[in-house]
Amino acid sequence: MAAPAPVSPLAPKSYPDAPAIRGVRFATAEAGIKYKNRTDVLFVLLDEGTEVAGVFTKSKCPSAPVDWCRANLAQGTARAIVVNSGNANAFTGMKGRKTVEVTGEIAARAAGCRAEQVFIASTGVIGEPLDPQKFEGVLAETAARVAPGPWLDAAKAIMTTDTYPKVATRTVDLGGVAVTINGIAKGAGMIAPDMATMLSFVFTDAPIAAPVLQAMLSAGVETSFNAITVDSDTSTSDTLMLFATGQAAADGAPRITDAADARLAGFRDALTSLLTELAQMVVKDGEGARKFVEITVTGAESDASAKRIALSIANSPLVKTAVAGEDANWGRIVAAVGKAGEPADRDRLAIWFGDVRVAVEGARDPDYSEAVTSDIMKREHIPVRVDIGLGDGRFTVWTCDLTKEYVAINGDYRS
Amino acid sequence: MAAPAPVSPLAPKSYPDAPAIRGVRFATAEAGIKYKNRTDVLFVLLDEGTEVAGVFTKSKCPSAPVDWCRANLAQGTARAIVVNSGNANAFTGMKGRKTVEVTGEIAARAAGCRAEQVFIASTGVIGEPLDPQKFEGVLAETAARVAPGPWLDAAKAIMTTDTYPKVATRTVDLGGVAVTINGIAKGAGMIAPDMATMLSFVFTDAPIAAPVLQAMLSAGVETSFNAITVDSDTSTSDTLMLFATGQAAADGAPRITDAADARLAGFRDALTSLLTELAQMVVKDGEGARKFVEITVTGAESDASAKRIALSIANSPLVKTAVAGEDANWGRIVAAVGKAGEPADRDRLAIWFGDVRVAVEGARDPDYSEAVTSDIMKREHIPVRVDIGLGDGRFTVWTCDLTKEYVAINGDYRS
C-alpha cells in the first residue's frame, strides 16, 4: 500500500454538527479486513418501523451485497446495516453469496431482527474472497456500543481511497413539524454516473412510506449522484439507501403515503439538496483531484441530450488533463461535444469558462483573452458552460481534473 | 511547449524500406506553422487517373479540412494531397472554411489540377486560425522537389505528439501482377474508435475503381483503426484515405471495378493487414504509453457486443492505470465488463492474462498465482482475454496503458 494520499485541497473546511436522528444508533469497529489501525466496519441499528428505499449500480456484474440488498428491499423494512471497507466482496462467485448470507445471519442475531431486514454494503478490492467470520463477534460487540452519533465516525469507517469523510445534514418542515435528514457517503475513484464505487446512506426521522421514499430517491439521484463522474468507471457495488424511522410522528409529523402529497415539497427539495451536496463532496475527493469542474450544457435539443453532451465533456481525459494543467483548451471541449453523438452544429456552439466567453458561432471569440481565461483556470472551482444553440435542453454535471496523482493512486492500489 | 517526449519504448526497432509507387511523388517542407526546425508540410502529387476513397471522423463538429475532403470525394479522382501538422484548422468557423478554399487553390496551381482534386488534412491545435498564406510559395517550391521517396520523410512531416514516424508496406498479387501498397499514419493521443486525431494515407499502384476502394476501406477500418483506443477521445479531424494510381496496369494488372471480384482477395487481406499494422503503431505511440494491450473478448452474444465490451475494458482508466502499475487487477476488468451494458453473466465470466486464467465462473481461479500473473504484467505486450460464456461473438481491440506521462503531455500541450 502506498502512503495515504494527502487530503484533497477541495475538502470542506469544516463539518456540520449532524444531529441525532431518533431511531438510528450506530458504532464502528476495527475488524482488520484489510486496513490496520483504522475502523473498517460500520454497524447501524434501526428501530422497529423503519422503512427503506434504495438505488443500486446498473452494472451487469454487481457485487454479492448489491444482489442481497436488492432482494431484501422488496419487504420494505430495515433494522440493521452492515458496511465494511477494504473488500468489496465483488466477483467472488458462490463464496461471495455465502459471505453475505452468513453476514446477514450474524447481523440479525446481533440486532435482534430477521436477516432480510439487514442491509449489507462492501467497498474495496474486487475479486478477493471476504471471510464472513471477520464479522462474528465484532457485530455483537459493536451492537453493545451503539449511540446516536457522532456521524463523522460513521463516515470515516466506510472510507477507502477517500481523503476525507463525507457528511451532510438538513432540517426541514414536514406538515408543521421539523424533521431531520442526515447522510454519509464514500467514494473517490471508479465514480461515474450510474453510481460508481460509491456508497451513501441517508437517514430521516420523517414518517414516510417505503414507496414514497423510493420515488423521491430515484428522482433525486438523477441530478446528484448520477450527475457526477470522476473517471467514467462504474463500480459493481454502488449503493445509495434512504432509511426513514418515522419517529418524528411522535412530534405530530404526518405519515406520508402518497408521493404526490403537497406537504412533501420541502422534504423533497431538502433531500435532493443533501444528495447533491454529498455527490459534490465525492467529486471533490476524486482521486488526485485539485480542481472541481461544473459543466453546464444549455441549448441542447432536450435535457437528456444536454446530459449526454455534458458527460462526454466531463469524461474526456483530454478535457480533464487540460484542466489539471490550468490550460483553457476549449478546442478539446468542442471535440468532446462532437464525439457525444448528440445533435450539435459546430457553427452555433458557444463556450464560456466562468463569465468569459471564449468561443462563439463556431470560432474563437473575437474578444478572447488568454490572460483573462488563464486566471479562471487557476481557480479551484471552474464553471464551464456550453451552449449548443439548438433548443431548451439543459443539464449540469460535476467532475474533477485528471492528474498524475490519479494515475499513481490507481497504479499502486493493490500492491 | 514542454521538451519532446522520449521515443516510446514500443516503437518499431526498424523501418521497412517502402518501395516507390508509380504515380506517387511527394516532398516535405518547413512552413513554420507551429513547429520550428522540423518539417510540417507534406505535399503529394498524384498522376492523372488516380482514384480515391476516404473514411472520416464521426464527430458532429468536424474540422474544415474534413468537410472539404468529404465534398471532393464525390468526383472520385485525386491529383494532390496537402497535409500540415501544428494546426488542425478545426473549430475556426468561416475563417477555417476560407483557409481550406485558399489552400486548395494554391495547391491546385502548384499541382496543375482542379481544386476539387486536392485533398487537405490538418492536425495539431484546435480552435486557432490557420493562415493559408503559410502555403503560398511553399507548395510551388515543394512541387518542384517531389520524388517517389523516401516514405519515412512523408511520415515525419505529419507528426504532432508522435514520438516516431509510422510507415508500412505490402506487396501482393493482383491478377498475376505484383502491386504495392504503402501507408503512412500519425496519431498518438485523442485516439479512439471512430478515428481520433489520426491521419493516415495509403497508396497503391493497383488499378482499382473508386467505389471498390471505398468498399474495401470502409470494411478494413472496422477491425483496424476503429479497433484501437488510446484515451476514448475522438478527434474532429480523423482522416483515412486510400489512393490508387492504377499504374500497375502497365504491367498487365487487371482493372477491378467490382468489389466482389475474386481476384481482390489477396489485395483486400493485404490492405487490412497494412491498416492493422498502422493502427497498432498508433496505439504503441499512445501518449505516455509503455505497454501495448491486446484485448480479445470471446463468447459474447455477437461480434458487435464483443466489440463494445472490449472497448469498455480498453477505455477504462482504472484498467489502464492498473496495467501501467503492472498490477494484474482483473477485478477492474470485471467492472468494465459490467458497465458496458451488454449481456454478461458474472458467474460465466473467465479472464486470462496471457495464457494464465485468473478468473473462472465468477470467481478467482483456484490455481491463481499472483507471482505468475505479475510476470506477465511486466511484459511490454499484454494479451488479455475475456470469455463472456454466452455465445460466439468475438472481437479484438488494442490499447495502451495510462501513465503519468499521458497526463503531463496533455496538461502541458498548449503552454
The 3-state secondary structure of A83-105 reads EEEEECCCCCHHHHHHHHHHHHH
Provide, as residue numbers in chain A, all residues whose Cβ is less than 8 Å from the Cβ of B364. 92-93, 127-129
**Shortest Cα distance from B369 to chain A (angstroms)?**
13
Return the pLDDT at B196.
Answer: 38
Record: contact B322-A402, CB cut-off 8 A: no
Q: How many whole angstroms separate alpha carbon B241 and alpha carbon B147?
A: 20
- What DSSP element (H or E) covers B27? strand B24-29
Record: contact A318-B189, CB cut-off 8 A: yes
What number of C-beta contacts closer than 8 Å exist between A and B?
245
Q: How many whole angstroms separate alpha carbon A45 and alpha carbon A188?
A: 26
Catalytically active residues of A are 197
For the beta sheet containing B239-244, the strands, ordered from the edge strand earlier in sequence to the opposite edge, are B51-56, B239-244, B199-204, B177-186, B166-174
Q: Calculate the CA dihedral of residues A133, A137, A140, A146 and round it to 10 degrees.
A: -100
* pLDDT tens-digit series, residues A235-281: 678 889 999 999 999 999 999 999 999 999 999 999 999 999 998 99
Q: How many whole angstroms separate alpha carbon A87 and alpha carbon A154?
A: 17
Q: How many whole angstroms separate alpha carbon B64 and alpha carbon B34?
A: 18
Return the pLDDT at A1.
Answer: 39
Test the A interface: residue of B318, B386, B387, B406 with most A CBs within 10 Å: B318
Contact B29, B131 (CB under 8 A): no
Record: contact A339-B403, CB cut-off 8 A: no
Task: Tell me: is residue B415 an annotated ligand-binding position.
Answer: yes
**Among chain A residues, CA nearest to B96:** A363
Across the interface, of A61, A231, A336, the residue whose CB is closest to B318 is A231
- Tell me the backbone φ, ψ of residue B183, rounded to 5 degrees: -140, 150
Test the B interface: residue of A194, A233, A291, A313 with most B CBs within 10 Å: A233
For the CA atoms of chain A, what is the radius of gyration?
22
Record: contact B324-A412, CB cut-off 8 A: no
Record: contact B410-A128, CB cut-off 8 A: no
- What DSSP element (H or E) covers A63? none
**Shortest Cα distance from B49 to chain A (angstroms)?**
35
Across the interface, of B59, B95, B335, the residue whose CB is closest to A233 is B335
Return the pLDDT at A161.
Answer: 80
Task: Tell me: is residue B287 an annotated ligand-binding position.
Answer: yes
CB atoms within 10 A of CB A1: 10
Provide, as residue numbers in chain A, all residues whose Cβ is less than 8 Å from the Cβ of B194. 339
Return the pLDDT at B129.
Answer: 87
Task: Tell me: is residue A57 an annotated ligand-binding position.
Answer: no
Return the pLDDT at A252.
Answer: 96
Q: How many whole angstroms separate alpha carbon A39 and alpha carbon A41?
A: 6
Query: Residue B361, SS3?
Result: coil
Task: Tell me: is residue B163 an annotated ligand-binding position.
Answer: no
CB atoms within 10 A of CB A375: 15
Q: How many whole angstroms separate alpha carbon A339 and alpha carbon B194?
A: 9
A385 pairs with which residues across the strands? A296, A352
Test the B interface: residue of A91, A130, A390 with most B CBs within 10 Å: A91
Return the pLDDT at B59.
Answer: 80
Closest of B313, B330, B323, B327 to residue B290, by C-alpha: B323
Record: contact A344-B413, CB cut-off 8 A: no
Instruction: Work out the percent of chain A whose per-residue pLDDT is above 90.
Output: 62
Task: Tell me: is residue B276 an annotated ligand-binding position.
Answer: no
**Among A77-91, A129-143, B129-143, B226-240, which is the least confidently predicted range?**
B226-240
Across the interface, of A96, A331, A415, the residue whose CB is closest to B90 is A331
Q: Calculate the CA dihedral of residues B112, B116, B118, B120 and round it to 10 degrees.
A: 150
**Among A43-52, A284-293, B12-21, which is the least confidently predicted range?**
A284-293
Return the pLDDT at A22.
Answer: 97
* CB crowding A323-351: b at 16 or more within 10 Å, else e: bbbbbbbbbbbbbbbbbbebebebeebbb
Q: Which one of B197, B204, B239, B245 is the catalytic residue?
A: B197
CATH 2.40.160.50 fits B24-284, yes or no: no
Closest of B189, B400, B226, B199 to residue B315, by C-alpha: B400
CB atoms within 10 A of CB A157: 25
Contact B248, B50 (CB under 8 A): no
Question: What kind of fold does domain B292-411 have according to CATH?
Answer: Ubiquitin-like (UB roll) (3.10.20)
Query: Residue A239, SS3?
Result: strand
Record: contact B59-A339, CB cut-off 8 A: yes
Contact A320, A405 (CB under 8 A): no
Domain ranges (residues) in chain B: 24-284, 292-411
**Shortest Cα distance from B269 to chain A (angstroms)?**
30
Find which of A207-221, A308-322, A344-358 is predicted with most confidence, using mean pLDDT: A207-221
Record: contact B236-A364, CB cut-off 8 A: no
**Per-residue model confidence as pLDDT tens for chain B (415 residues):** 345 668 888 889 898 899 999 999 999 999 998 888 899 999 999 999 999 999 998 888 788 999 999 999 999 999 999 999 988 888 888 889 999 999 999 999 999 999 999 999 998 887 788 999 999 999 999 999 999 999 999 999 999 888 899 999 999 999 999 999 999 999 865 543 333 368 999 999 999 999 999 999 999 998 888 887 665 556 678 889 999 999 999 999 999 999 999 999 999 999 999 999 998 998 888 878 899 999 999 999 999 999 999 999 998 888 988 899 998 888 889 888 988 889 888 889 999 999 999 999 878 898 988 889 989 999 999 999 999 999 999 999 999 988 888 778 777 644 3
Closest of B265, B169, B261, B257 to residue B213, by C-alpha: B257
